A and B are shown apart, each in its own frame.
Chain A
Amino acid sequence: MLSDIITPDLFAAALRMATPLALAAIGGTICERSGVVNIALEGIMLIGAFFGTATVLATGSPWLGVLVAVLAGVGISAVHALASVNLRTDQVVSGTAINLLALGLTGFLMELWYGHPGTTQPIPTLQPVFGFGAMGDGFLGEVWRWINGVFLSHTPLVYLAVIIAVGAHWAMYHTRWGLRLRALGEHPRAVDTAGVSVARGRWMAVLMSGALGGLAGANLSIEQVGVFQEGFTNGRGFIALAANIFGRWTPIGSYLASLLFGFADALQIKLQPFRDVIDLPPEFFLMVPYVVTVVVLAGVIGRAVGPAQVGVPYEKG
């Protein structure tokens, strides 16, 4: 049985399922490093997934869908930026409003455009980048089967997420932008005193998290599922936020934490057919990602220390 569970596609699925979480979590990391809490990730992903799908349905082009998903994510997070940076609204409340707005708006537009709630027509999805076949038998053939299965079987955004994680990590610790971003969340007064606009820096960070959240939504709808379903982010935005905390507000940490959640999710799906061996109701498997989130948040990391000024509106002067 174990050899039926521990297969290349278990790990491939883990990578695949980590991707939307990782993209959103890295967005959350950038946003929170600038001092703005972003619990709107759930809504941003939903908006991105919806407008991405709608674009693909209208044009037939998955890549155009990805682009629109990113723009839609940026658009909805501009509302969050305006509320939390300029109007100094409570950021958690603003995020909640965006989540609710996303749920209502996507449902409303679905009925308006497609005449029914629920699920859209299937869309053409992004295809795997590589297409290598099997490579003979024996030990080398087996090694190749694993390499090909785990690492070389993916769609573009799965690879892009890895590149973004490494790139964002490098940028955060080795560029002037990264230094300023981190300073924004720790000591905005110092940034202000140095003559750099706090509002501008935070706006940019919130918009970037919107772009990544939109990309995460596109990954769900245009790469993984191939339709849009009402409310199908299903708490992933909050799991992404937990991944950001678990990753201690760093991009690579966020990616690795997402990988853990992705693995938990892949494993629960993989275990479903073994119901006669593991005598548990299916709902118990479905709970796993949420339980893992709580356990990770509570048990493993202890008291996580975020950016000092996260959630605090900056007041100039």
Chain B
Amino acid sequence: MSEPREAVPAQRAWMSAVQKVGMPIISTVLAIGVGSLIIWIAGYDPGAAFAALFKGAFGGPRQTGETILRSTPLILAGLAVGYGFRAGLFNIGAEGQLMMGGLLAAWLGVQMAALPPMVTIPTLIVAAALAGAAWAFIPAILKARIGAHEVITTMMFSHIARYVVAWLTAGPIKAPGQIPQTVSLTESAQIPRIQSLFSEGAIEAFPYLNLGRAHLGVLIAIAAAVGIWLVLRYTTLGYENRAVGLSPWAAETAGISVQWTTVKALCISGALAGLAGGVEVMGLHHRIFDQFSSGVGFTGIAVALLAKNHPLGIIAAALLFGALSAGSGTMQLEAGVSQKIILIIQALVIFFVAAEGIVNWFIRKRQKEVASGAE
């Protein structure tokens, strides 16, 4: 669609600003609006539902901690999907890479139980990232060499990962007892909770420091976001990644190896997803069990799209989805609305962000009105 070239520069600048920051906000508001409509049609009170949701997400230190806790893996999963997107790759299988990252961290953590945290924690973090990268490597090679679509291959690898975890936790690395899960990591392999940084006196003086289950993994996630932002902005690796994403043909002509860049991008994407799994295991569950991730990899897709694949925007988007996830339990408990509405809102956010055509259509229509009204 040809943009109206006669538009005055100020108006164009306004439009681009709207599209960068305003679009995600408009999309979120629209999604919550349609979500409210669905809640209302279903016979509940949307006001009460969202009040309960907000209370569950930010109503107190514990609730805020829960939001931070849920946002942590979403930042990493969002980065994983977003980094792939920047190279024109749709890593729909972040879920599987996440599981493999968690699996290796859970297994290796038990093997390294006798070592000090200064050794264990960094090792496990690196191991989780490598496991995620390894799980993305085969789809990456297949994409680069044969052209097998990564949407299908990474998805299939997610299913395979699910059964690998189910098999190992039910048999070879199962903890004694009825439940299929591994033994708990010793404290030396756990990422400490945020509140462990403060003395009891400090927490008594400032109750808001008692952030419940939130752990320091959030710092790893934020550091990763800043790191990816710097990589995309200032390094050759990031430049090649973006170039291939914008136009593989132009990149090839400019001497960039599209195949090699594809492999690197999907492996880095997988590494970030694996990191998300490792951080979940080390910070929250302290072990791995069947289906431990509950769709974090998929929510990462919504997070990345909402943030338009911008690493720093992903932090904000992950916080929003973390809050939705943390508050959904309270919403179900107090307003009786099924938590599943959160999935619907996520889908609507994707629609509204992706369908920029809707907003562009509104803008064009408005410009026509303005043009005809200005006469």
Contacts and interface: CB of A to CB of B under 8 A. Distances in A.
B301 interface: yes
Interface string B314-325: 000000000000
A103 B302 CA distance: 14
A97 interface: yes
A302 B146 contact: yes
A107 B167 contact: no
A97 B350 contact: yes
Contact of A235 (B146, B155, B350, B355): B155
Given A92-B151, A284-B167, A287-B163, A294 B156 contact: yes
Interface string B91-102: 010000000000
A297 B153 contact: yes
A68 interface: no
A315 B167 contact: no
Task: Report the contact-size class of chain A (Cβ under 8 Å from the partner).
Answer: 35 or more
A11 interface: no
A107 B343 CA distance: 9
Contacts of A98: 347
A89 B355 contact: yes
Contacts of B338: 107-108, 111-112, 117
Given A96-B92, A98-B347, A294-B156, A104 B340 contact: yes
Contacts of A294: 138, 142, 148, 153, 156-157, 160
B192 to A, nearest CB: 34
B159 A235 contact: yes
Contacts of A105: 340, 344
A225 interface: no
Interface centre among A94, A108, A286, A291 (most CB of B within 10 A): A108
B347 A101 contact: yes
Contacts of B157: 290, 294
A10 B261 CA distance: 45
A283 B167 contact: yes
Nearest to A237: B155
B354 A293 contact: no
B348 interface: yes
A251 B155 CA distance: 24
Contacts of A86: 357
A90 interface: yes
A100 B347 contact: yes
10 contacts: A88-B1, A89-B356, A93-B305, A96-B350, A97-B350, A100-B302, A101-B343, A104-B344, A104-B347, A281-B170
Given A87-B357, A93-B354, A297-B156, 17 more contacts: A88-B1, A89-B355, A90-B354, A92-B90, A96-B90, A96-B92, A97-B351, A100-B343, A101-B351, A108-B42, A108-B343, A238-B156, A283-B164, A283-B167, A297-B142, A298-B153, A304-B147
Nearest 3 pairs of A and B residues by beta carbon: A104-B343, A87-B357, A101-B347
